[in-house]
């Protein structure tokens, strides 16, 4: 696909007008119109400004540069590479510091990269063997333990669909289709309070967990840009007390 078509696609996906994008990127609407029609070839600096103005992921910024005829500028180090050792060490400290509450590090597709002991013991029910996709683990393998499976499953599906729409990815699209089939019919809207909890059976008890997502906001490496830290927090005092008790036993 040409750079012009790719740029139009990203602008449409972000729902940004030509005029607004031109103002963000420091150019004119007329010049941007010529670029999108293929009548004008953008310079490398303009390609970078346009990609940044549209909040294009680093992986796709490299693709835009290639489509415009320029070399990629963002490197991609493997998660287990020596270059990302400081990042892994920092994330391991965060995972350990989140104990006794579960937490994981995943990539943009939800594939598990690291997890703390609480996630293995409490959520997964035991040690996990790679490869593991966390959304698939929850909606397929742990489905019998999820009390509010309908609400939680569609919460997961909707979140992944939003990610797939924002940052197109064929494998993510396939995962959304797979998980939607597992989720079944969407339940009727109910008063869920301030957030959708994960109500998870744990032996004779029921945990009420909320999730938070965090990512690196200043990443200049493709792999780092893809990382997500998902932390599970107790939604009530009983869950907090039970998680503390389970951690102390472990």
Domains along the sequence of the chain with CATH: 3-67 (1.10.260.40), 85-249 (3.30.450.180)
Q: How far, CA to CA in Å, does 60 sit from each of 47, 48, 64, 65, 108?
A: 12, 11, 6, 9, 13
The pLDDT value given to residue 190: 58
Segment (H or E) for 198: strand 198-202
- Residue 87 to residue 78: CA distance in whole angstroms: 11
Q: Which residues contact 4 (CB under 8 A, 6 or more apart)?
A: 35, 36, 37, 38
The pLDDT value given to residue 196: 82
How confident is residue 29, by pLDDT bands cut at 50, 70 and 90?
Answer: very high
Whole-prediction pTM: 0.86
- Residue 8 to residue 241: CA distance in whole angstroms: 52
- pLDDT one-digit tens code per residue, 185-209: 888 765 555 678 899 999 889 999 9
Helix and strand tally (H, E) in the chain?
A: 12, 5
Q: Which residues pair with 212 in a beta bridge?
A: 231
The pLDDT value given to residue 168: 85
Q: What's the chain's average pLDDT? A: 92
CA angle centred on 52, ends 50 and 133, rounded to 5°: 125
């Amino acid at each position: 696909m040409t750079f012009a078509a790719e740029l139009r696609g990203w602008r449409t996906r972000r729902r940004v007008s030509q005029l607004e994008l031109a103002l963000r990127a420091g150019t004119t609407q007329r010049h941007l119109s010529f670029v999108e029609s293929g009548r004008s070839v953008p310079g490398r600096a303009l390609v970078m400004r346009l990609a940044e103005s549209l909040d294009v992921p680093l992986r796709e910024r490299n693709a835009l540069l290639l489509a415009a005829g320029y070399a990629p500028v963002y490197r991609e180090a493997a998660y287990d590479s020596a270059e990302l050792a400081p990042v892994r060490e920092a994330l391991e400290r965060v995972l350990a510091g989140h104990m006794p509450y579960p937490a994981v590090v995943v990539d943009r597709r939800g594939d598990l990269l690291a997890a703390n002991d609480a996630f293995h013991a409490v959520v997964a029910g035991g040690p996990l063997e790679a490869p593991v996709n966390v959304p698939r683990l929850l909606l397929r393998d742990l489905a019998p333990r999820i009390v509010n499976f309908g609400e939680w499953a569609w919460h997961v599906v909707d979140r992944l669909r939003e990610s797939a729409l924002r940052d197109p990815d064929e494998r993510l699209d396939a995962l959304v289709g797979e998980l939607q089939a597992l989720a079944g019919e969407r339940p009727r809207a109910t008063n869920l309070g301030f957030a959708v909890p994960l109500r998870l059976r744990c032996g004779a008890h029921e945990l009420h967990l909320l999730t938070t997502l965090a990512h690196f906001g200043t990443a200049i490496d493709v792999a780092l840009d893809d990382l997500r830290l998902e932390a599970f927090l107790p939604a009530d005092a009983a869950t907090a007390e039970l998680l503390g008790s389970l951690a102390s036993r472990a």
